[in-house]
A and B are shown apart, each in its own frame.
Chain A
Amino acid sequence: MSYGTQTPLQRESARTIFQKGAPGRRAFVCPERDVPDVDLGELLPERLRRSQPPRLPEVSEPEIVRHYVGISKRNFDLDSGFYPLGSCTMKHNPRLHERAAALPGHSRLHPLQDPERAQGALELMWRLQGALAEISGLPHVSLQPSAGSHGELAGVLLTRAFHEDRGQARHKVLTPDTAHGTNPATVTMAGLEVVKVETNADGGIDLEDLRAKADADVACLMLTNPNTLGLFDPNIAEIAEIVHGAGATLYYDGANLNAVMGLSRPGDMGFDIVHFNLHKSFTQPHGGGGPGSGPIAVSERIAPYLPLPLVVRREDASFDLDHGQGLAGSKSIGRLRGFHGNYGCFVRAYAYICSLGADGLKDASETAVLNANYLLARLQQHELGNGRRAADYLPLAYGRLCMHEFVLSGAPMKRELQLKTLDLAKRLLDFGFHPPTVYFPLLVDEALMVEPTETETRETLDAFADAIAAILAEAAEDPRIAQGAPYTTPVRRLDEVAAAKRPVIREALD
């Protein structure tokens, strides 16, 4: 079924930059070859040379600008509308951060500049390390990991090094069935084995199951708290006791840190290792999927294994890179990437922490939790006009309150309205909203995971709740409308099965 008419963007067909331009057209003017003429063939023998130039586009600057500005309009973005993508913390990105990061003193600073001539950068990193230590309640920080997943890899390798140093070859890592997919994937890459822990009826870790599985082969328990159901596990102290009692470490996936900044600290909960997602909690623009940054903070007993180098302050108050002479010694797991980490992200995260300060960070988390609970309540209470309420179709999966996000189950909606969570998500696109995360966590049938963040207004939350209610009411009349959605987007539902079956992942050129 079709609904409405074609939008202007739909009338434009997708043509790549490789399909535009003409031979000889160009934007780049090469600087003059101002050195004495040499025979390039002599400098580079033929067998080492490229025979045919790569078939890059041949386009002018105006064409490039038109092309990319044009296709940019086929993106939805956070600056244009509500983006309640669960576990992704799509909070407002202040433009100050972009301006600060672009200052040549930051953006044109070479990573191998001598420490004495990069004092501003090292001081910024040192201050950021200190702030992250304070927020997490863990004393030692490495800024090196490039993203949350990379921080996880660092964390599991640290755990392995910790146990190996004690002569123990512990090979199991416990993860709850609510865990982000990166957790089990990381465990495998670090050479360990995943063992799943069950979730109890309240949405937390099943303590009985944990006790049964926490044996002498367990290296670590990886946990998100609040977890991916948006619930703070009230048994966390006991969980830590069980895990530590078994001689294992406790790892904190910081994806949901935005719920607890200044309110509760992973270090105080008993965690040994934490990774941060600077792009989430500390508002790095998400860039369409990267870059991110995934620093880690660790307890004293893990510190000797941290990746190197670390940023330190010397006795004379100067800042330096410690390549292993100091604290970390020779037990470091080594390096995880080139240079010092994603400094451009550090500048933005540090700017954010400076802007908000101690009270502001706490306020951000409080407001994030308030917004989530308000939206949850609005959604649950919404009257649909047919004697039913939204909660009848989209009940909260676990608990009654939530932290910074919540998970609804679309199972009744699917059963009674023939509307899958995917249909609801696609119909939301026509209402101008980015849908929540769908089909995660896996243990909730037809899951819808909503994280509004603290930077949304009450009016926006109300409008979103109204849109969901309107879609449910519409579906009660005629489910086919949502089943065929979206209608107004640059393209409509895409054939993902065909794309995977016969992958076309680049433009074919003559």
Chain B
Amino acid sequence: MLETIGVGSLEELFDRQIPEALRLRRALALPAGLGEQDVYEHLRALAARNTSAEDELSFLGAGMYDHYVPALIDMLTERSEFLTPYTPYQPEISQGGLQVMFEYQTAISELTALPVANASVYEGPSAVAAAAYLAKLHDGRRRIVASAGLHPHSLQTLRTCAHGFDMEVVEVPVRDGVTDADAWAQAIAAGARQTSAAILAQPNFYGAVEDAAALSDIAKASADAAPVVIAQVDPITLGVLAPPGECGVDVAVGEGQPLGNRLDFGGPSFGLFAAREEYLRRMPGRIAGETVDVDGRRGFVLTLQTREQHIRREKATSNICTSQALNALAGVVYLTWLGRRGIVELGELLLARTHYARERLAALPGVEKLHEQPVVREFAVRIDGDVAQVRRRCALHGVNPGVDAHALSGRAEDQGVLLVALTERRTRADIDRLVEVLGAAVAAEREAVPA
């Protein structure tokens, strides 16, 4: 091979291209390579030092949830044809992936009741920021009004990105578990025609179902000309909750993980992104569209690419380069597997079990509901005692009772708040066990700390 190239040695190939002063003349300070079996054992040993949802009775949620992932998803996502290609730059040999995107877009559009969806973005919180950027491109204004009911990671991501967008974020407090409607109205109206986006979460960080239609109405009726109303939704709840498209919402985004994706310690997953038609040409990300080939055969291509970075460069609607194709595949297969009736049945199951768990827990001494709002799959309770200590006591019994809200949000008012999440994997018996263990832990904690 060297002879064909016309160099005397491999070394010469680099000597002629990289200045000597920039050559690394030592070995990288990394361990020597290992055979497959040894690497596997090492990674297995690391995995064994994690307590996964397989190892304890877990009620952790707050953004990602331990749903059952059907076996056919593993089978399909492991297929070479889906796993190993790249972005479908050559549509003639990428019809499989492009059709998956088209079907995924259809499913997300149906779920959200919004006419257009892209082929997915990175994940939930960054999708919120991407939606705010869309609003800025749409109306050129600089103000984002965001409910404190958004997940803390969404709010933090929004703030980080808003600095780059040259936008400011105004946070609207939560009252009785939901967005304070008066404060929401005032924040949106403040300063004539300055509010670009108004963002809510459905359900919110505290598990509460917001009156999204009322919040949209307030935003649209504002003296300020209507901002783009954005909702961060949990897609698994949309079998039972009124979809954003029927609540006056303009752009729906959300974390797609509950739809057939693994927890994976937080990623990769996908962010769903759907909108009303008028925002189509300002959407970020890949979009698959239908067309025909020269023989008139139906086919799919990446479309509306003049929005995108590889064509428009600094004038692009986003810098995003790919979708989360494999995760979105898992998402659309999951929705197909659930089907039209399954998504409703699953939502109703979650509704019933979550109600049961909430009532049982709230009946415990030292535990009360944080709010009385409707909930679907997660709820918040206030504990009389240190949440971290209570959680530690529960862990000794193999129960993870949920997320310490204060540890996540840092808000003083979240001290003592525990977020408890349900999936279809948590049965009544599991809930009863949670009640028993958490009840004992709270009692022990109250005894240990004199009032």
Nearest CB in chain A: distance from B96 CB, A = 4
B163 at the interface (CB under 8 A from A): yes
Indicate if the CB atoms of A17 and B336 lie closer than 8 Å.
Answer: yes
Which residue of the partner chain, among B49, B345, B403, contacts A112 with CB atoms under 8 Å?
A: B403
Indicate if the CB atoms of B96 and A72 lie closer than 8 Å.
Answer: yes
Q: Mark A142-153, 1 if CB is under 8 A from B, else 0.
A: 000011111011
- In the bound complex, residues from chain B placing their C-beta under 8 Å from that of A121 are 46, 50, 265
Indicate if the CB atoms of B309 and A149 lie closer than 8 Å.
Answer: yes
- In the bound complex, residues from chain A placing their C-beta under 8 Å from that of B42 are 354
- In the bound complex, residues from chain B placing their C-beta under 8 Å from that of A231 are 17
Indicate if the CB atoms of A338 and B90 lie closer than 8 Å.
Answer: no
Indicate if the CB atoms of B240 and A184 lie closer than 8 Å.
Answer: no
Nearest CB in chain A: distance from B238 CB, A = 7
Nearest CB in chain A: distance from B146 CB, A = 14
- In the bound complex, residues from chain B placing their C-beta under 8 Å from that of A381 are 4
Supposing A354-B33, A495-B292 touch, asked if A335 and B265 sit within 8 A by C-beta, the answer is: no
Indicate if the CB atoms of B90 and A147 lie closer than 8 Å.
Answer: no
Indicate if the CB atoms of B352 and A96 lie closer than 8 Å.
Answer: no
Indicate if the CB atoms of A26 and B341 lie closer than 8 Å.
Answer: yes
Complex Cα distance, B340 from A230, in Å, reads: 50
Chain A stretch 377-404: residues in CB contact (< 8 A) with chain B: 377-378, 381, 401, 403
Which residue of the partner chain, among B84, B122, B348, B427, contacts A93 with CB atoms under 8 Å?
A: B84
Indicate if the CB atoms of B47 and A106 lie closer than 8 Å.
Answer: yes
Chain B stretch 98-123: residues in CB contact (< 8 A) with chain A: 99-100, 102-103, 105-107, 109-111, 113, 115-117, 119-120, 122-123
How many B residues, CB 8 Å from partner?
201
A344 at the interface (CB under 8 A from B): yes
Complex Cα distance, B34 from A362, in Å, reads: 15
Q: Mark A46-78, 1 if CB is under 8 A from B, else 0.
A: 011111011111110100110011011111111
Indicate if the CB atoms of A505 and B289 lie closer than 8 Å.
Answer: yes
Complex Cα distance, B28 from A469, in Å, reads: 40
A312 at the interface (CB under 8 A from B): no
- In the bound complex, residues from chain B placing their C-beta under 8 Å from that of A499 are 289-291, 301, 303
Chain A stretch 5-54: residues in CB contact (< 8 A) with chain B: 10, 13-14, 16-18, 24-28, 30-31, 33-36, 38, 40, 43-45, 47-51, 53-54
Supposing A43-B374, A149-B309, A188-B314 touch, asked if A369 and B14 sit within 8 A by C-beta, the answer is: yes
Indicate if the CB atoms of A147 and B322 lie closer than 8 Å.
Answer: yes
- In the bound complex, residues from chain A placing their C-beta under 8 Å from that of B299 are 14, 491, 494
Indicate if the CB atoms of A191 and B164 lie closer than 8 Å.
Answer: yes
Which of B53, B92, B107, B288 gathers the greatest number of chain A CB atoms within 10 Å? B92
Nearest CB in chain B: distance from A271 CB, A = 11
Chain A stretch 107-121: residues in CB contact (< 8 A) with chain B: 107-114, 117-121
B380 at the interface (CB under 8 A from A): no
Which residue of the partner chain, among B36, B160, B241, contacts A355 with CB atoms under 8 Å?
A: B36
Which residue of the partner chain, among A78, A440, A494, A507, contacts B85 with CB atoms under 8 Å?
A: A78
- In the bound complex, residues from chain B placing their C-beta under 8 Å from that of A153 are 161, 164, 319
- In the bound complex, residues from chain B placing their C-beta under 8 Å from that of A61 are 72, 337
Supposing A105-B52, A338-B154 touch, asked if A435 and B90 sit within 8 A by C-beta, the answer is: yes
A257 at the interface (CB under 8 A from B): no
B95 at the interface (CB under 8 A from A): yes
A156 at the interface (CB under 8 A from B): yes
Indicate if the CB atoms of A337 and B157 lie closer than 8 Å.
Answer: yes
Indicate if the CB atoms of A77 and B85 lie closer than 8 Å.
Answer: yes
Indicate if the CB atoms of B297 and A74 lie closer than 8 Å.
Answer: no
Indicate if the CB atoms of A76 and B85 lie closer than 8 Å.
Answer: yes
Which residue of the partner chain, among B2, B54, B313, contacts A184 with CB atoms under 8 Å?
A: B313
Nearest CB in chain A: distance from B345 CB, A = 4
B366 at the interface (CB under 8 A from A): no
A498 at the interface (CB under 8 A from B): yes
Supposing A56-B107, A113-B60, A120-B48 touch, asked if A157 and B163 sit within 8 A by C-beta, the answer is: yes
- In the bound complex, residues from chain A placing their C-beta under 8 Å from that of B220 are none
Complex Cα distance, B99 from A73, in Å, reads: 12
Which residue of the partner chain, among A14, A54, A188, contacts B110 with CB atoms under 8 Å?
A: A54
Indicate if the CB atoms of A360 and B33 lie closer than 8 Å.
Answer: yes
Identity of the chain B residue whose Cβ is nearest the Cβ of A497 in the assembled complex: B291
Indicate if the CB atoms of B82 and A339 lie closer than 8 Å.
Answer: no
Nearest CB in chain A: distance from B54 CB, A = 4
Which of B113, B117, B300 gathers the greatest number of chain A CB atoms within 10 Å? B300
- In the bound complex, residues from chain B placing their C-beta under 8 Å from that of A34 are 353, 427-429
Q: Mark A402-432, 1 if CB is under 8 A from B, else 0.
A: 0100000000000000000000011001000
A453 at the interface (CB under 8 A from B): no
A477 at the interface (CB under 8 A from B): no
Nearest CB in chain A: distance from B240 CB, A = 6
Complex Cα distance, B295 from A10, in Å, reads: 10
Nearest CB in chain B: distance from A289 CB, A = 4
Indicate if the CB atoms of B356 and A36 lie closer than 8 Å.
Answer: yes
- In the bound complex, residues from chain B placing their C-beta under 8 Å from that of A334 are 156-157, 159-160
- In the bound complex, residues from chain A placing their C-beta under 8 Å from that of B365 are none
Chain B stretch 259-315: residues in CB contact (< 8 A) with chain A: 262-268, 270, 280, 286-295, 297-301, 303-306, 308-315
Which residue of the partner chain, among B66, B88, B213, B293, contacts A288 with CB atoms under 8 Å?
A: B88
Supposing A185-B313, A265-B24, A503-B280 touch, asked if A344 and B49 sit within 8 A by C-beta, the answer is: no
- In the bound complex, residues from chain A placing their C-beta under 8 Å from that of B79 are 69, 72
Indicate if the CB atoms of B33 and A357 lie closer than 8 Å.
Answer: yes
Complex Cα distance, B297 from A245, in Å, reads: 59
Which residue of the partner chain, among B17, B64, B239, B312, contacts A232 with CB atoms under 8 Å?
A: B17
Complex Cα distance, B326 from A234, in Å, reads: 39
Nearest CB in chain A: distance from B427 CB, A = 6
- In the bound complex, residues from chain B placing their C-beta under 8 Å from that of A347 are 43
Nearest CB in chain A: distance from B76 CB, A = 5
- In the bound complex, residues from chain B placing their C-beta under 8 Å from that of A287 are 82-83, 324-327
Which residue of the partner chain, among A26, A104, A160, A500, contacts B289 with CB atoms under 8 Å?
A: A500
Complex Cα distance, B88 from A435, in Å, reads: 12
Indicate if the CB atoms of A104 and B54 lie closer than 8 Å.
Answer: yes
Complex Cα distance, B18 from A236, in Å, reads: 10
Supposing A48-B211, A499-B301, A500-B306 touch, asked if A117 and B337 sit within 8 A by C-beta, the answer is: no
- In the bound complex, residues from chain B placing their C-beta under 8 Å from that of A492 are 92, 293-295, 297
Q: Mark A322-364, 1 if CB is under 8 A from B, else 0.
A: 0000000000011111111111110100110111111111100
Which of B5-13, B190-198, B221-229, B438-446 forms contacts with chain A? B5-13
Complex Cα distance, B82 from A286, in Å, reads: 9
Indicate if the CB atoms of A189 and B297 lie closer than 8 Å.
Answer: no
A474 at the interface (CB under 8 A from B): no
Which of A83-91, A205-213, A296-304 forms contacts with chain B? A83-91
A506 at the interface (CB under 8 A from B): yes
- In the bound complex, residues from chain B placing their C-beta under 8 Å from that of A43 are 351-352, 355, 374
Indicate if the CB atoms of A14 and B300 lie closer than 8 Å.
Answer: yes
Complex Cα distance, B403 from A74, in Å, reads: 44
Which residue of the partner chain, among B49, B70, B268, B320, contacts A293 with CB atoms under 8 Å?
A: B268
Complex Cα distance, B351 from A488, in Å, reads: 51
Identity of the chain B residue whose Cβ is nearest the Cβ of A124 in the assembled complex: B46
Which residue of the partner chain, among B13, B14, B43, contacts A103 with CB atoms under 8 Å?
A: B43
Supposing A43-B355, A111-B266, A121-B46 touch, asked if A503 and B103 sit within 8 A by C-beta, the answer is: no
- In the bound complex, residues from chain B placing their C-beta under 8 Å from that of A102 are 74
Complex Cα distance, B91 from A75, in Å, reads: 9
Q: Mark A251-274, 1 if CB is under 8 A from B, else 0.
A: 000000000111111001100000
Supposing A351-B43, A377-B4, A435-B90 touch, asked if A53 and B76 sit within 8 A by C-beta, the answer is: no
A129 at the interface (CB under 8 A from B): no
A215 at the interface (CB under 8 A from B): no
Subset of 22 A-B contacts with CB under 8 Å: A16-B99, A34-B353, A38-B352, A38-B355, A51-B242, A64-B337, A68-B100, A72-B79, A80-B81, A96-B39, A109-B51, A113-B50, A153-B164, A234-B17, A262-B24, A287-B324, A288-B85, A291-B324, A401-B5, A401-B7, A494-B299, A499-B291
Given contacts A338-B154, A351-B43, 7 further A-B contacts (CB under 8 A): A30-B345, A102-B74, A264-B18, A268-B22, A335-B153, A458-B1, A505-B303
